[in-house]
Amino acid sequence: MTKIILTGDRPTGKLHLGHYVGSLKNRIALQNEDDTEVFIMIADQQALTDNADNPGKVIENITEVALDYLAVGIDPKKTTIFIQSQIPQLAELYMYYMNLVSVSRLHRNPTVKQEINDKKFGESIPAGFFTYPVSQAADITAFKATHVPVGEDQKPMLEQTREIVRDFNRTYNKEVLVLPEIVLPPKNHARLVGIDGQGKMSKSLNNGIYLGDSEENIKAKIMKMYTDPNHIKIEDPGQVEGNVVFKYLDIFDTRVDEVAELKEHYSRGGLGDMKLKRRLNDVMQDYLRPIRERREEFAKDKAEVYRMLKAGSEKAEKVASATLDEVKDAMGINYFKK
Ligand code: TRP
């Protein structure tokens, strides 16, 4: 196996179109590559680091996220999908790695710093939240991942993981852990803008189109999309730049020449927002319908989804267990091993 991929999502909500173009599509491509093994982890423990008082939300979203995976075509026959909390070896690795990381190093992690600010923890930052980058290093190294496809915001986690890998191998004088590389999404797809045009699509901004959204819901969201606030009369010239409808047409409408013509017409004046939005609605409905239908199909048998997750978790545990054994060997703490 030349490439081992490990990536994951916190189960704190359903997945949206931004997840799809930014990461899920890429995972589907990866699972079909030769010599590539793909692990996808539902990071329920990481989600609990700031949801300790609301485990129900995390538990519920494990199946929602799994359904989103299946709906877009992540195939459990090719990809190992598993639940973080079901792999106790990850917690054990996390514990040993904690001794290789200083508190001041954790303080310098910019993503965690930002999150601490956003989440308004004040003086009560959960210790588990503060140290989750170390837990993430355990996730990645347990599978000897060579490549970790994630968003830009995860760069600090990968840097920290690489430091831990180097430290571990140096300290225990053995090349046990594998140095992982980050794989960022293609630039034009990295940050799908939300329907409000204010920032990237995100649950917290409430500007998303979800993979499971109904036809009416999708339509309502497209009709609300941010266009050009100064394009009041149809005859007025309109702005293409910053216009969310055009951003989406650029990504999802395969009739590139027609889209170029529409842009010209819009800039010149004489093309109304409604007409554009109706076109985008047709495009997006065609794009999302098969995903939604597959999702509904899988959702009919949640027990089957759980069986899939259990099988994936059993497989993941074997891999993590072998790594943990090597780690303990290197540290010299496999006391009872013959
Ligand atoms: N921190 C990641 C996120 O918020 C989720 C995650 C947990 C992850 N463990 C991981 C991603 C390991 C990649 C590898 O999206």
How confident is the model at residue 1, as a pLDDT?
Answer: 65
Ligand 1, atom 14: closest residue by C-alpha: 7
Residue 186 annotated in ligand binding: no
| Pair 8, 136: CB distance under 8 Å | no
**Domain spans of the chain, in order of start:** 3-191+302-331, 215-297
Superfamily of segment(s) 215-297: Tyrosyl-Transfer RNA Synthetase (1.10.240.10)
**Among positive and negative, which fits the CA dihedral 202, 56, 59, 88?**
positive
Residue 208 tokens, joined: 């998303």
Question: Fold for domain 3-191+302-331?
Answer: Rossmann fold (3.40.50)
How many Å lie between the centroid of ligand 1 and the Cα of residue 178? Answer: 17
Strand partners, 38: 5, 79
* CA atoms of 309 and 329, how far apart (whole Å): 30
Residue at 81: amino acid letter: I
Give how far Cα 61 sits from Cα of 55, 214, 314, Å: 10, 18, 20
* CA atoms of 101 and 96, how far apart (whole Å): 10
* CA atoms of 320 and 40, how far apart (whole Å): 13
Residue 292 annotated in ligand binding: no
- Calculate the average pLDDT of the chain: 95
**Residue 221 exposure: Cα atoms within 13 Å on the Cβ side:** 24
Cβ within 8 Å of residue 2, ≥6 positions away:
35, 36, 146
Residue at 310: amino acid letter: K
- Ligand 1 atom closest to the Cα of residue 149 is 13
Identify the CA nearest to 7 among candidates 152, 160, 176, 182. 182
Candidate of 6, 46, 83 to mutate for ligand 1, largest count of ligand atoms within 8 Å of Cβ = 46
| Pair 22, 99: CB distance under 8 Å | no
Residue 299 tokens, joined: 């959702």
pTM for the full predicted model: 0.94
* CA atoms of 123 and 119, how far apart (whole Å): 12
Residue 186: DSSP 8-state: P
* CA atoms of 245 and 211, how far apart (whole Å): 18
**Residue 194 exposure: Cα atoms within 13 Å on the Cβ side:** 12
How confident is the model at residue 119, as a pLDDT?
Answer: 86
Residue 153: DSSP 8-state: G
Q: Where are the alpha helices (DSSP H) in the chain?
A: 17-19, 25-31, 44-48, 55-72, 88-98, 103-107, 110-118, 127-130, 132-142, 155-171, 215-223, 244-252, 256-268, 273-299, 302-331
* CA atoms of 20 and 267, how far apart (whole Å): 30
| Pair 106, 133: CB distance under 8 Å | yes
- Ligand 1 atom closest to the Cα of residue 145 is 14
Residue 52 tokens, joined: 């300790």
Residues of the chain with pLDDT under 50: none
How many Å lie between the centroid of ligand 1 and the Cα of residue 30? Answer: 17
How confident is the model at residue 185, as a pLDDT?
Answer: 82
Q: Ligand 1 pocket by C-beta < 6 Å: which residues?
A: 6-10, 41, 43, 46, 136, 139-140, 148, 150, 154
